[in-house]
């Protein structure tokens, strides 16, 4: 037997600002998505307004494949958003490292996008092709509301059904449909268009989670623009629960990420001041991409290649750019260094000897 089609759905609205949160909630919108610039902090008044009625405060800080961290350390940035009450964040965040940082602290609100890669070329950030090299599902999980359009046309219902299946296989808890505000005028899309897409989701074994509307400048004009969403609500009754409740989660401190183990690394001597030597380098994953939050171990010995008289000098962890740095004392006489990944799988003896 095939999957049974659901009769309820989540309704989302993306806007640059929100002034009528209680009214939107009463009209069936459980998730409100504030569109921001990369690196933006949480809007306290927006969070408070959502919390007051039980809606989900969500941020869209990444569009067109650009990173959402705004040059900040992604791990600490997303931890701060979670601590400020944001429940989900994302957009077209197609970088696997950033997606990992999001899902360690927050639900990843993913809308895929054109040119993402994968078998259909759209909406599959989990594929090991395209610019993201394959995102991996993190502990907080992912809600994918897939874009139903490209830059010049609608995506076919059959393709969107396939893409929904890929997102289900990746472990996404919710898989819904993104509606473009311009698609009605430009491409002739209407409520039946999106109901057909929902049917294709079901044909691919996916219960459509609901519908997301992208977007209005501010919510004061939302109701005139959202007549189609009201039509969809006649088929899929609105779910009035925030995204944390739907995911079976509750607000709390973000976990502290454990340092990753790099597949490889580089190193070099930066400076020697008295008896203080500074080594610097970079860490890389198995595909040669710079890897943040990755640990290596550095030991000192009096002879290269010996297994005796080693002294652990430190275990530097790379920063958000994949770079690491360690300053350590050197001893009288010859100093050689054994540098190795934290799991011990890749190690090198220094070719340079420091003699004091």
Break the chain into its structural domains and give their ranges: 8-246, 264-355
Counting Cα atoms < 13 Å in the Cβ hemisphere of 231 gives 11
Separation of alpha carbons 318 and 195, rounded Å: 48
122, 150, 199, 300, 333 from 103: Cα distances, Å: 21, 26, 29, 37, 48
What's the confidence (pLDDT) of residue 133? 62
Q: Is the pLDDT of residue 60 over 90?
A: yes
The set of residues, in sequence order, having a beta carbon less than 8 Å from that of 292 and lying 6+ positions away, is: 73, 74, 75, 97, 260, 318, 319, 320, 321, 322
Q: Output 75 or 226, whichever has higher pLDDT.
A: 75
Phi and psi of 107, rounded to 5°? -70, 135
What's the confidence (pLDDT) of residue 250? 44
Nearest of 78, 123, 122 to residue 98 by alpha carbon: 78
Q: How large is the average pLDDT for residues 217-237?
A: 75
Separation of alpha carbons 9 and 238, rounded Å: 5
Q: Is the dihedral of CA 244, 115, 6, 180 positive or negative?
A: positive
Nearest of 332, 268, 336 to residue 300 by alpha carbon: 336
In CATH terms, the fold of domain 8-246 is TIM Barrel (3.20.20)
Separation of alpha carbons 197 and 295, rounded Å: 45
What's the confidence (pLDDT) of residue 343? 86
Instruction: Give 251-269 pLDDT, tens digit per residue.
Output: 444 445 668 889 999 988 8
What's the confidence (pLDDT) of residue 136? 83
Domain spanning 264-355 has what CATH number? 2.60.40.10
What's the confidence (pLDDT) of residue 172? 94
Q: Output 76 or 64, whichever has higher pLDDT.
A: 76
Instruction: Give 14-34 pLDDT, tens digit per residue.
Output: 999 998 899 899 989 999 999
What's the confidence (pLDDT) of residue 257? 60
Q: How confident is the model at residue 306 (pLDDT cuts 50, 70, 90)?
A: low
Instruction: Give 307-326 pLDDT, tens digit per residue.
Output: 556 788 889 999 878 899 99
Q: Is the pLDDT of residue 94 over 80?
A: no
Q: Is the pLDDT of residue 5 over 70?
A: no
pTM of the model: 0.69
Q: How large is the average pLDDT for residues 66-73?
A: 87
What's the confidence (pLDDT) of residue 330? 87
Separation of alpha carbons 168 and 216, rounded Å: 29
SS3 (DSSP) at 91: strand
Q: Is the pLDDT of residue 107 over 60?
A: yes
What's the confidence (pLDDT) of residue 119? 80
Q: Is the pLDDT of residue 4 over 80?
A: no
Q: Is the pLDDT of residue 224 over 70?
A: no
Cα dihedral 228, 229, 230, 236 in deg (nearest 10): 120
Question: Residue 275, by phi and psi: left (phi above 0), alpha (psi -120 to 50) or beta?
Answer: alpha
Q: CB 8: neighbour CB atoms within 10 A?
A: 14
């Amino acid at each position: 037997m095939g999957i049974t089609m659901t009769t309820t759905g989540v309704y989302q609205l993306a806007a640059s600002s929100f002034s009528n949160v209680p009214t939107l909630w009463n009209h069936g919108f459980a998730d409100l998505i504030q569109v921001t610039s990369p690196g933006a902090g949480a809007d306290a008044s927006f969070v408070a307004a959502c919390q007051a009625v039980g809606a989900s405060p969500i941020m869209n800080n990444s569009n067109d494949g650009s990173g959402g961290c705004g040059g900040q350390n992604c791990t600490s940035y997303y931890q701060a958003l979670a601590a400020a009450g944001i429940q989900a964040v994302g957009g077209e965040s197609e970088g696997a490292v950033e997606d990992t940082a999001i899902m360690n602290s927050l639900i990843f609100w993913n809308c895929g996008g054109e040119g993402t890669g994968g078998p259909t070329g759209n909406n599959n950030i989990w594929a090991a092709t395209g610019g993201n090299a394959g995102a991996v599902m993190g502990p907080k999980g992912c809600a994918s509301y897939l874009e139903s359009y490209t830059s010049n046309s609608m995506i076919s219902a059959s393709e969107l059904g396939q893409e929904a299946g890929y997102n289900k296989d990746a472990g996404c808890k919710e898989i819904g449909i993104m509606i473009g505000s311009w698609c009605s005028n430009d491409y002739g899309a209407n409520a039946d268009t999106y109901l057909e897409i929902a049917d294709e989701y079901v044909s691919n074994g996916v219960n459509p989670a609901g519908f997301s509307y992208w977007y209005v400048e501010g919510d004061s004009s939302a109701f005139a623009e959202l007549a189609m969403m009201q039509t969809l609500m006649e088929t899929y009754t609105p779910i009035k629960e925030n995204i944390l409740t739907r995911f079976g989660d509750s607000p709390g401190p973000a976990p502290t990420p454990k340092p990753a183990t790099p597949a490889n690394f580089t190193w070099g001597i930066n400076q020697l001041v008295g008896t203080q030597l500074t080594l610097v380098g970079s860490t890389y994953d198995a595909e040669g991409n710079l890897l943040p939050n990755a640990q290596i171990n550095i030991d000192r010995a009096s002879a290269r290649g010996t297994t005796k008289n080693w002294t652990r000098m430190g275990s530097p962890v790379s920063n958000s750019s994949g770079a690491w740095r360690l300053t350590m004392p050197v001893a009288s006489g010859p100093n050689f260094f054994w540098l190795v990944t934290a799991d011990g799988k890749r190690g090198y003896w220094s070719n340079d000897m420091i003699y004091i």
